[in-house]
Structure 1
Amino acid sequence: MANIDSKCKLCRRAGEKLFLKGDRCISQKCAMVRRPNTPGVHGGTPSRNQSEFGKQLAMKQKIKRIYGVLEKQFRCHYAEVKRQKGVTGDLLLSRLERRMDNVVYRLGFAPSRVTGRQLVSHKMFTVNGKRVNVPSFELHVGDVIRLKDTKREKTYTKNRIEILKEKKDVPVWLDLNSEKLEGTIMSLPARGDIGVTVDPQMVVEYYSK
């Protein structure tokens, strides 16, 4: 079953912004600005003596929430990277960052990953000239994601195009061409590129039990 908790509560529970609501998260309306304490009757009371397993579980939940991935799909991502050579935790983050819905968000075509997922599902983009409507589609270095010409006259798209012209915070592993309305995967993303402090090795330890 999908997690239907308030996105703001999820951020407050994590104790930091997870940027789940897009533009609102960088405004004064953000719940972490107005009420930074944890949700609940005893909000603000830190948890005591959390076990190592509890910390690992919390980290797994945090990463899942950032990318909006449910447990079954998250396990699939983990199973895939575990078979690859390299540091499993870093490979997991790299794979999550290169999901189609996340890249749409990172490039600025969407204000949040949730919206990015909707846009991909609505067949708004192509990858290397081919239509892709699967949010979990994994992108690779050299891939070019482009907003379809037939979608550029929509009211939403016109508004985002104006925002793209001023966008300055595109991650270093991506290249945005705001005139052509396309982005290119220039390199593999690193752990420090996601903007939120996480320790993917704790996820590896959690699943290794």
Structure 2
Amino acid sequence: MSRYRGPKLKISRRLGVLPGLTTKKSKKLNRPGKEGTSEDKNKKLTEYGIRLEEKQKLKFNYGLTESQLFRYVKEARRRRGVTGLILLQLLEMRLDTLCFTLGFASSIAQARQLVNHGHITVNKKVINIPSFQCRLNDTISVKDKSTSKNLIINNIKNNQRTEIPYNLKFDDSKLEGTVLDYCDRNDIQLQLNELLVIEYYSRR
């Protein structure tokens, strides 16, 4: 299944706030489709439906395909520790996600485009793979080119970046971020019950 490229506000109305998908807010409060009617408001989701929605939040927020997300779940299961937290840490260590967290882009989709176009370097080497898995002490910076630097500087100004999480260090003068540690659950902006995602994939 290919990556979703449809209306983003429609997804955020259905699943709630997804900071990695879009910063825009819809004027409509009801869910898309027929869900806005009073009959459907009283309708409760099944246990499967609840797990599916949590999985969809993760998929749309990080801009993943179904097969990519399943691969991350399998990798999280393989590692020692709390599977749900490890899954989130793997996703947060993707290059496009780190660029978004550092404020280089207003969404993960925009961050993915920056990486694809060769504006971002890791340890001084240009990396154009958005899913590139960064490691501890990796340095993420902007390509030493005026067009790349001007683009990122404008993005940082326009994005009104929030505080950088404690696991990252950012140097504004060099436009350079360093990965100090794995992220903590409280630092992740996405409101999600990751355990339900693990349960969704438990039979696969």
Under a length normalisation based on structure 2, what TM-score does the superposition of the two structures give? Answer: 0.89
Q: What is the match of residue 169 of structure 2? A: 175
Q: Deviations over 1:80-130 (max 9, x none)?
A: 121100011110001001110010011011111111000001111111122
**Which residue is 2:41 aligned to?**
46
Structure 1 equivalent of residue 116 of structure 2: 121
The correspondence for 1:160, drawn from 152, 155, 159, is: 155
> CA 1:113–1:76 in structure 2 vs 1: closer, same or farther (change >3 Å)?
same
CA RMSD after TM alignment:
2.1
| Range that drifts further, 34-43 or 179-188 | 34-43
Equivalent residue number for residue 10 of structure 1? 11
**2: distance between equivalents of 1:168 and 1:77?**
27
Q: 1:184 aligns to what SS in structure 2?
A: strand
Q: 1:161 to 1:66 in 2, by over 3 A?
A: closer
Please give the alpha-carbon distance, in whole angstroms, between the structure 2 residues aligned to 1:73 and 1:197: 21
Preserved CA contact (<8 Å) 1:11 1:17 = yes
What SS class does the counterpart of residue 132 from structure 2 fall into?
Answer: coil
Distance 1:93 1:154 in 2: 29
Secondary structure, counterpart of 2:81 in structure 1? coil
Aligned residue among 79, 82, 85 for 1:87: 82
- Structure 2 stretches lacking a partner, 5+ long: none
Q: Deviations over 1:113-148 (max 9, x none)?
A: 111000001111111122211000111221110101
The count of corresponding residues between Structure 1 and Structure 2 is 200
Distance 1:153 1:136 in 2: 20
Equivalent residue number for residue 62 of structure 1: 57
Paired-residue identity, %: 36
Q: Name 2:102's counterpart in structure 1.
A: 107
1:161–1:178 contact (8 Å) kept in structure 2? no
Q: TM-score, normalised by structure 1?
A: 0.87
Q: Distance in 2 between matches of 1:147 and 1:122?
A: 12
- 3-state SS in 2 of match to 1:126: strand
